Amino acid sequence: MTVGIGETGNGVVAGAAGAPVDSARLAAALLSGFGLFIIVLTFQPFAGVPDTPEPGGSTGNLVNQIGYVSLAMVYLAAMLRLCERAVLAQLGTSSWIIVFMVAALSSGWAQEPDASLRGLLLTGFAMVVVVGILVLPRSERDFAGAVATATLAVLLLVYAALLLAPQLAIHGSEGVEGGHAGDWRGHLTHKNLAAPMFSILTMFGIYCWRMGLRLRGLAIIGLGTLFVLNSGSKTTMGFLPVAVGLVLLGRTIGRPRLILIAHGALVLLIAALTVGTVLSPTLRSLVTGLISDPTFTGRDDIWRFASLRIADRPWLGYGYLSFWQTPVVTTLEENFEANWDVRGIGSGHNSYLDAMLMFGIPGAVLVIFCLMILPLRNYLRAERDPARRRLADLFLMIVIFMTYVGMLESFFLNRADPLWLLFALAVFGLEFASRLRTRGA
């Protein structure tokens, strides 16, 4: 593999300042692995199902706020000490500036602008850790080792809980969990979050295997896949092999553009079969004949409600984090005919609809373009260099997978949500890989 910026290359896709020092290299790799371990495990693992906040109450999390602010300071100091300024300077022209500008501007007309900006600030602090995970390792080999160690550590903790304290990691039969009794949720609050998370961990295992870390890679693949199969999330079980299969097929036949075209077609198909069913009676009839639950566990009522609210404010939206669980929704009368009482839900269970609710249609188009379209272009640039292909393939798997998951779950700019942070890791990774060179060892 080629050396990074300058002749003292450092980072997965970057360069380091100064001559190589073993202690500095070890510290950088440890920080990268620890950062990944934290964003996957979260600061409050095995916390159980959270209480529903009171209408109009705060949805902030003090533990996350303190944790990520502290981590961001550590990782910022480490990057300034260990990374070349040219690498960090790449952030000055990043498409992420557009994403954060859209969110910041939308905070101006949020119901509580201060709360909206605080949420965005927490998202920004978490992004510092994500960037640090990518640029601190001295080489891709160091990064792969950090990924393998962090991922295995999380998996072993979760499986220990499954064996020794299953009530912490498996949905129970009481209360709101009753419908998911027996489904694995691991250290997270719900199987619909856990299944995508462990799917991404499985992708990390595939990457580690391809990097030559065969034993650890195989262990991660096996444990991750077993968890997904026991999560009860049928859509995730379908999306995982599709995302992995598309990328590996493209690598096998040497036609990455063709695979991206197939991905685009699948995005349109999944959109038509999910949110499209609330807009078109024809699609609704088609889906009813294809699957046993055409409502997607009642999500269609939420999507229908969200679509009507988007039409009320199509240009500017309601502001970042300023729709669900706010008086705009909580003060409405209950719709007894709907499967869900929208007054108590925390998201629209569709990232694209929620983006339109927050930022308006123009803002949502910009955000989706930066987060879903540009990474595909960056992949095509990065994969031209054989030295970057395994890394680019990993990040593309995550982007493709989360593009599909976004049809059923919301995660865009969702503060310290681990799914959002792993998706951001992949988007950042493809952007860096498209601009810089990697160092192999």
Residue whose pair of structure tokens reads 């939420």 in the numeric block = 302
Q: For residues 226 and 206, give the distance between their C-alpha atoms in angstroms, rounded to a whole number.
A: 14
Is 339 in contact with 386 (CB distance < 8 Å)? no
Q: How confident is the model at residue 85 (pLDDT cuts 50, 70, 90)?
A: confident
- Mean pLDDT is highest, among 79-88, 106-115, 293-302, for 106-115
Report the percent of the chain where pLDDT is more than 90.
Answer: 80
Q: How confident is the model at residue 152 (pLDDT cuts 50, 70, 90)?
A: very high
- How large is the average pLDDT for residues 200-216? 98
Is 83 in contact with 17 (CB distance < 8 Å)? yes
Residue whose pair of structure tokens reads 């999944």 in the numeric block = 270
- How large is the average pLDDT for residues 280-288? 91
CA gyration radius for the chain? 21
- Which class for 42: exposed (0-12), middle (13-18), buried (19 or more C-beta within 10 A)? buried
Q: Could you report the per-residue pLDDT of 405-421, keeping only the tens digit for each?
A: 999 999 999 999 999 99
Q: For residues 140 and 373, give the distance between their C-alpha atoms in angstroms, rounded to a whole number.
A: 25
SS3 120: helix
Structure confidence at residue 104 (pLDDT)? 97
- How large is the average pLDDT for residues 261-270? 97
- Determine the residue type at 109: W
Q: Round the average pLDDT of the chain to a whole number and report it.
A: 91
Residue 164: how many CB atoms within 10 A of its CB? 9
Q: Could you report the per-residue pLDDT of 218-260, keeping only the tens digit for each?
A: 999 999 999 999 999 999 999 999 999 999 999 999 999 999 9
In whole angstroms, how far apart are CA 91 and each of 13, 86, 87? 13, 9, 8
Query: Beta partners for 170?
Result: 184
Q: For residues 128 and 81, give the distance between their C-alpha atoms in angstroms, rounded to a whole number.
A: 14
Q: Could you report the per-residue pLDDT of 298-310, keeping only the tens digit for each?
A: 899 999 999 999 9
Q: Phi, psi at residue 16, to the nearest 5°?
A: -110, 155
